[in-house]
Structure 1
Amino acid sequence: MSFRCRFTFFLLLWVCAPSFAQVVKLSNNKICHTPDSPFYERVKRFQRFSSLQDCLNEGGRLPQITPSGHPSTSNDRQYSRDAFGRGWSDSDKDCQNTRHEVLIQQSTTTPVLSSNGCKAEHGRWVSMFTGEVITSAKQLDIDHVVPLKWAWSHGADQWTNHKREQFANDPINLIAVEASLNRAKGAQGPDEWLPPKNECQYILRFKRVLVKYSIHTPNNIQSMVKRCLDK
């Protein structure tokens, strides 16, 4: 092979190399984009994976397919709190919605209710996040252990409305904690945010909810679960 041919050959390899180096992109809304995805080049902020399976194992999902046969964008099925029901439900129609039923159930003393019996106002709550004792319901939020938005991006967007509303009001997924910490947590999973205390209790509770609702556990969270169980 002549020098000119060898040079041309290696030049072609160098030019084509980026296409071979392309990786699977996990976007911020947890969608796995392979190089043949029409949105691949548009995804600028992402986590890199060497294979589609690795991306899916990390909690990613495939793009939605529209009736036209093309993948949908994230805007087609954007998260909305209303997808999980309009606020706290009162399924037994006793005037106490889910928030106040959780407060009543989790108070370690008989709570003081409002004059109409519909709301818990005072009691004794021990926060899972800090271990602190709180006596005023006004200082508490009801935390979704597995946040609704997190669940949405990990498969709940495919559930029925009934299942989503059940999930949002399921006591297994609800704990009374300091409002400030609940809002600091936001929609983050335990790989992004942990409470100041009782970390393993929180991680195992998170896993328990995932199992009940058949939500895939990302590898990094499963590793956290294993570390807690091995202690």
Structure 2
Amino acid sequence: MSRTKSLWLVLAAVLAVIVSYQTVASTADRSGQFVADADVPTVAPGADVLAGVAVVPERMRGHDYRRAAFGEAWTDDNDAPGGHNGCDTRNDILDRDLVDKTYTSISRCPTAVATGVLHDPYTNVVISFMRGNQTGAAVQIEHIVPLAYAWDQGARNWSEDMRVRFANDPANLLAVQGEANQDKGDQEPARWMPPNAAFHCQYAMQFIAVLRGYGLPVDAPSVPALRQATDTCPRG
């Protein structure tokens, strides 16, 4: 039985983000699909999963998005377990999400993952990770709520510090198959959901939690996609 660390729920305010982590583990059922165990988010009967999230008619897409507005690709100033340890966010997320790991020391990071295994929640494939020249190809760190989407929905008006925090917030990050990450790009839920339907509940709930935590609205076309995905969550 395989397990994969995946998501944490966000408890955050717009100006002072406080992140609470809840590890979501998945196991494989007889069909081989990853299905969540008791740590999967549950939805109370009749609850509005989008409560507290504003809805706008459409994605407010502009042509002024700049990745650099969210700071350097990764920093060590993050709230991942072991953060502020000399390892940047990418290395911290690899350590969080991979299993069967070995370690090496690189630059200022004494515990960089050298090898490991990813049970990819997006595609349900098992990927062997080995650090090297192509270290970013097979396994990539994905922003659940894409940076460009956040920018279009209001992050363009945030302070630089807020955008850097968002880009490095472990609650919005997940190690996934590189191809799936590239396929998603900056698309919103109306246009893209993980190919692995067994992960739709966790993906949608985390997407919504990040929007709520950072005070970002959702585009109306994505509302039915998110509601359909959360309909697969256990009721409790």
Tell me which residue corresponds to 1:125. 118
Q: 1:86 aligns with which of 72, 76, 87?
A: 72
Determine the structure 2 residue equivalent to 1:221: 222
**Counterpart-to-counterpart distance in 2, 1:189 and 1:61:** 12
Gaps of 5+ in 1: 1-55, 63-73
Amino acid in the other structure paired with 1:214: G
Residue of structure 2 in register with 1:10 after alignment: none
SS in 2 for 1:119: strand
Deviates more, 1:189-198 or 1:167-176: 189-198
Q: CA deviation at 1:220?
A: 2.2
* Number of corresponding residues: 162
Distance across 2 between alignment mates of 1:100 and 1:229: 30
Q: Post-superposition, which runs of at least 4 consecutive aligned residues in structure 1 deviate over 3 A? A: 59-62
Structure 1 SS opposite 2:176: strand
- The unaligned stretches of length 5 or more in structure 2 are 1-54, 78-82
Equivalent residue for 2:171?
172
Aligned partner of 1:112 in structure 2 is: 102
Alignment RMSD: 2.1
Structure 2 distance, partners of 1:59, 1:106, is 33
- The residue identity in structure 1 corresponding to 2:93 is V
The superposition leaves residues 83-111 of structure 1 with CA deviations (integer Å, 9 ceiling, x where unpaired) of: 101110012553210000001011233x2
CA contact (8 A) 2:142 2:175 kept: yes
Please say if residues 79 and 149 of structure 1, whose CA atoms lie closer than 8 Å, have aligned partners that are also in contact: yes
- What is the match of residue 46 of structure 2? none
Aligned partner letter, 2:85: D
* 2:200 match: 199
Over the matched positions of the two proteins, sequence identity in percent amounts to 31
- The whole-number CA distance in structure 1 between the counterparts of 2:224 and 2:141 is 27
Which residue matches 2:146? 147
Higher share of residues assigned helix: 1
Structure 1 residues 61 and 149: alpha-carbon distance in aligned structure 2, compared to 1, 3 A threshold: closer
Q: Which one has the largest radius of gyration?
A: 1
Q: TM-score, normalised by structure 1?
A: 0.64
User: For residues 179 and 90 of structure 1, what CA distance do their matches in structure 2 show?
Assistant: 22
Q: 5 Å matches for 1:43-62?
A: 57-60=56-59
The structural deviation recorded for 1:118 is 4.7
Query: Partners of 1:158 and 1:120 in 2: how far apart?
Result: 36
Equivalents in 2 of 1:215, 1:173: separation in Å? 13
Task: Give the distance between the partners of 2:216 and 2:92, measured in 1 at CA.
Answer: 26
Aligned partners of 1:128 and 1:202 also within 8 Å: no
8 A contact 1:59–1:154 mirrored in 2: no
